[in-house]
A and B are shown apart, each in its own frame.
Chain A
Amino acid sequence: MPAAVQYIIIPLVKVVLIQITLLIGVALTVWLERRTAGFIQDRYGPNRVGPFGLLQPVADVVKLFMKEDIVPEKANKFIHSLAPAISVTIALSTIAVIPFADPIQLFGSEFKLQIADVNIGILYILAMVSLGVYGVTLSGWASNNKYSLLGGLRSSAQMISYELSMGVAVLGIILVNGTFELDTIVQNQAGWKWNIILQPVGFLIFLTAAFAETNRTPFDLPEAEQELVGGYHTEYSSLKFALFFLSEYANVIVSACVITTLYLGGYQFPYLQTFGLSPVLVSILQIITFLIKIFIIVFFFIWIRWTVPRFRYDQLMVLGWKVMLPLALANLTITAIIVTLLK
């Protein structure tokens, strides 16, 4: 295979393909959320545009593009536009280190089904999560609106509080696997050895923190409608509002990918390799397995949102600092003791 194809064309195709898949995934998730909400609340969801209302998100995007972009006169105009852009860029970038299937052999060379297999995969994800604060905080600050500012401030305090527990929970995984590489972590989970079995408490902490980081119910205080109107996006309309919406759902999908990769065996289907199928078929089945696992987690996110009420702010902080963080530290200590004893 010529070098140009291997080093330029194939990576570019992968990048474009994954970004487009993620965007389509976001559209489908929005549709799924609205239909599920309809089902749970005993009403129809969107069902007119296209079969089962599947084209509703497309119609919404077109509508939002055609709407006027209203920027309040007192706002800081540039940062007001920058904030949703930051949110979306970070939400879309996080998925770059997630592996989708075993490497396959094509035309005599190895071909990784992952954008970048880097030595610091987990740290990259945590770094991107820690940057997620900016979109919300800056939009709150730039709008020059009391609701927005309160929403932005709340969310930054919330996100940094839960980020710590998330980091400490992930340390348990690193202890067990001894690596930051996501690809190796997934391969270590072959067969029954999913990390959810080895790290059940860590899984619960990570899942809860993921809810808090994506600002989804029961942790949606930054946009609590009943007290803050729309929270940080009160002053946003048209495209910029659509971008915030996009970043929220992209974050949900990416969180599902990360949870699947770290705790639910990634693309592994138990003992799939021992069935004696051709490698290409195995890879395709792995991608399908991965997509099904993501679907289950995304559905869980939606299900929780339409079932559980919102926390009060003091409860949120108590949960983050006095329950989750000590629990995560205890989990880390116990894991370390067990790893030492088993050695």
Chain B
Amino acid sequence: MENIQLILYTVFGVLAIFSAIMMITRRNPIASALWLIFNFFMISGLYFLLRAQFIAIIQILVYAGAIMVLFIFVIMLLKLTDEKKLSEIMTYQKITAILFSILLMALLVFTVYVNFADKYTEISTEAETISKAENLGRELFLKYAFPIEAIGLLLLATIVGAVVLAKKKFE
């Protein structure tokens, strides 16, 4: 059982990184969007392995099922076609970007390694219980009542803002 999980973890992790790289290097915007959807699935698989079932399914429901639909809509709406080849637009920026990416990556790996390497090597035995939507609901609606309403207001602002901007932009 442990072995299967380790194998799945490796597969999901490697595929997630691979699809992320494919996503940013594709020239066709729809292909990029598809790789991003694939990436969301792999991330969702990782969540499942961490026993975070509610978050995992919401990842698919909201990100893959709703937000990416909007992305594809926008790609269709804006008549986006293939991007220029990377080599055509790359100058010294490329080298700087790669350099800083590697630095950031090293920093992240270092931080995670120093702080968490020996602390969290196993999934907590209670992870499955904690991640249930029931427990999430109890926490969310008893302790965090005010933030919920704040999110409501934020979403209201988003609706109004999005509609106003969309009309301005396209008409």
Contact = CB atoms under 8 A, between A and B. Distances in A.
B34 A127 contact: no
Interface string A115-153: 000111001101100110110011001100000010001
Interface size class of B (residues with CB under 8 A): 20 to 34
Interface in B13-65: 28, 30-31, 34, 37, 53-54, 57-58, 60-61, 64-65
Contacts of A316: none
B40 to A, nearest CB: 11
B86 interface: no
Interface string A169-206: 00000000000100000000000000000000000000
A160 B28 CA distance: 24
B133 A133 contact: no
B66 A130 contact: yes
A206 to B, nearest CB: 17
Interface string B66-87: 1001001100100000000000
Contact of A156 (B53, B54, B60, B69): B69
Contacts of A126: 61
Nearest to A7: B1
B133 A180 contact: yes
Contact of B66 (A79, A137, A149, A160): A160
B132 interface: yes
Given A137-B72, A141-B30, A141-B76, A130 B65 contact: yes
A137 B37 CA distance: 14
A119 B53 contact: yes
Contacts of B72: 137-138, 141, 156
Contacts of A82: 34
A16 to B, nearest CB: 20
Contacts of B31: 79
B64 A131 contact: yes
Interface string B82-114: 000000000000000000000000000000000
Contacts of B132: 119
B57 A124 contact: yes
Interface in A99-129: 118-120, 123-124, 126-127
Contacts of A160: 66, 69
Contact of B53 (A76, A118, A133, A138): A118
Contact of A131 (B28, B65, B73, B133): B65
B34 A133 contact: no
Contacts of B30: 76, 79, 138, 141-142
Given A119-B132, A127-B65, A160-B69, A79 B53 contact: no
Interface residues of A, number: 23
B65 A120 contact: no
A137 B77 CA distance: 13
Contacts of B76: 141, 149, 153
Nearest to A140: B76
A133 B70 CA distance: 11
Nearest to A121: B57
B133 A119 contact: yes
Given A127-B57, A130-B61, A156 B73 contact: yes
Contacts of A130: 60-61, 64-66
Contact of B34 (A79, A119, A120, A124): A79
B34 to A, nearest CB: 7
A131 B73 CA distance: 14
Among B37, B66, B69, B76, the one with the most A-chain Cβ atoms within 10 Å of its Cβ is B69
B29 to A, nearest CB: 11
Given A127-B65, A134-B37, 9 more contacts: A76-B30, A119-B133, A120-B133, A127-B61, A127-B64, A130-B64, A133-B65, A141-B72, A156-B73
**Which 6 pairs, one residue from A and one from B, show the smallest C-beta to C-beta distance?**
A130-B65, A127-B61, A127-B60, A123-B57, A120-B57, A120-B53
Interface of A: 76, 79, 82, 118-120, 123-124, 126-127, 130-131, 133-134, 137-138, 141-142, 149, 153, 156, 160, 180
23 contacts: A76-B30, A119-B53, A119-B132, A119-B133, A120-B57, A120-B133, A123-B54, A123-B57, A123-B58, A123-B133, A126-B61, A127-B60, A127-B64, A130-B60, A130-B61, A130-B65, A130-B66, A131-B64, A133-B65, A133-B69, A134-B69, A141-B72, A180-B133
